[in-house]
Amino acid sequence: MLTRLEIDGFKSFEGLAIDLAPFTAILGNNAAGKSNLFDAIQLLAALATHDVAEAVKALRGEPLELFRLTPGGRVKRMTLAVEVLLDPIGRDPWGSEVKLTHTRMRYEVTLERRETRPGIERIQVAHEAVNPIFAKDDKWAKALAPSAAFRKQYLQYKRQKPWLTTDDKADGQGREFNIHQDGTQGRLRPASAAEATVLYSITNAEFPHLFALREEMRQWRLLQLDPALLRRPAPVTAADTLTADGANLAAVLARMKAETATDLRPHGVLSDIAAELNHLIPGVTRLDVFLHDASREYRIELTMRDGLPFTSRVISDGTLRVLALLTLLHDPKHRGLVCFEEPENGVHPGRVKTLVQRLQDMVSRPRDGMDAGVVPPLSQLLLNSHSPVVLAALLDSAGHPVDEGGAILFADTSSVTDPAQGQTRRRTRLRPIRQQDGLFASAAMERGAEVSDLEVRQVLDAVRAEG
């Protein structure tokens, strides 16, 4: 679970530091930087599983355009830092169980543009570190006030030393990455021209905590559902966990049906998804998936209240998007952070509130109790929207957040004046609405950084005007 994100020098961000809840909604106009935030999270996930060149290639824009553009030119460095809560139990690639003694950690990475030859520039890792977050310093855990059961199951604080540091070499000739002991002897690696993160190289549980961090970041994903791909059949060879574009939705549903079907519930969890879908798009009575023998492809079928079945080829774009999201959230294999843009697309405004409330219910709830000995994978949802209807769905009649454990942030841009450089720069900022408790109720919040009641009312008035 991603609990804090800090970004400096990436796209529209300068000195951003924001805490995140299990359910976090970011609202703002177009070009406010909401998608850039998701890009930063994608970059971190990619750096854990690819070398730098491949990681930056997967993002929107050219690699050079990822570095912040200022009136004085593009910056040379970008720094990203995250604080995370790890699942206390995981598995390595061979199925062996990995148990952690410390589940709260902070990861930092700095990328730098370097001229390796005249006129040739490469992006390299200049700094990387992984440090434990101690119980006494864990403001996130204190602010969310987790239940005693959640603390016992998830919050472990045993480590006293870093797992990874970037240090000066003993001979003073350059720097090196120092992987510290973690159940096995540590290692040193040169940091003079690193074109991949150390985290990328941790591919097994030899260093269990670094491996668990890599696996956590690998699970962070941005859903960019493509209705044209969602409606296509999926080959039997398709991956059985949902891809970012949703092209294998039918295969995922087939796997979930096979794993959860019983004599009493022949469609398994697909019956639950159909019921959820009916709340949002009335008229759906049954969801099924079947294998077309001739083509060896899985196909989706929705039955409506008149008893007529329809394949995914003729289902509306909005229905398919909602179906894909509900599939992901009902999947027993689902874990980690999902970033989702504009959940209201394709949903009738009158049903957006129901959708948002259901999404809030399906993430991990630190304040709730849990069955003794049960440690389900942590689940988190970060969504963005420019719709005032979504904001209205997040607030009660008094303007207070419905979900006390969630977070609502406004995205916009502000000016930064730098007399030393003689510059005025624009940057993306994220501000919490004033009425929230927990993460954003402390006096530590920068004065004037909260969204006023007036700003909230102005956005909500847009809903009333549209109605």
Write down the domain spans for the chain: 2-219+357-466, 226-334
Degrees, nearest 5: CA angle 76-80-86: 160
Separation of alpha carbons 38 and 44, rounded Å = 10
**Beta pairing class for 379-385 and 16-19:** unpaired
Separation of alpha carbons 382 and 386, rounded Å = 14
pLDDT band at 438 (very low <50, low <70, confident <90, very high): low
Which of 13-17, 368-372, 376-380 is the most confident on average? 13-17
pLDDT band at 446 (very low <50, low <70, confident <90, very high): very low
pLDDT, tens digit, for every residue of 245-276?
A: 999 999 999 999 999 999 999 999 999 999 98
Mean pLDDT across the stretch 54-80? Answer: 91
Where does residue 116 rank: exposed (0-12), middle (13-18), buried (19+ CB within 10 A)?
exposed
Mean pLDDT, the chain, integer: 88
Residue 306 has pLDDT above 90, yes or no: no
CA dist 267 → 175, 260, 301, 397 (Å): 58, 8, 12, 39
Separation of alpha carbons 81 and 166, rounded Å = 15
pTM (two decimals): 0.91
**Beta pairing class for 336-341 and 221-223:** parallel
The sheet that has 407-418: what strands, in order across it?
A: 221-223, 336-341, 379-385, 23-27, 407-418, 423-432
Mean pLDDT across the stretch 72-76? Answer: 91
Reference 218, options 85, 88, 98, 337; nearest CA is: 337
Residue 448 has pLDDT above 60, yes or no: no
CB 248 within 8 A of CB 239: yes
Separation of alpha carbons 20 and 23, rounded Å = 8
pLDDT band at 218 (very low <50, low <70, confident <90, very high): very high
Retrieve residue 84's tokens.
């995370």
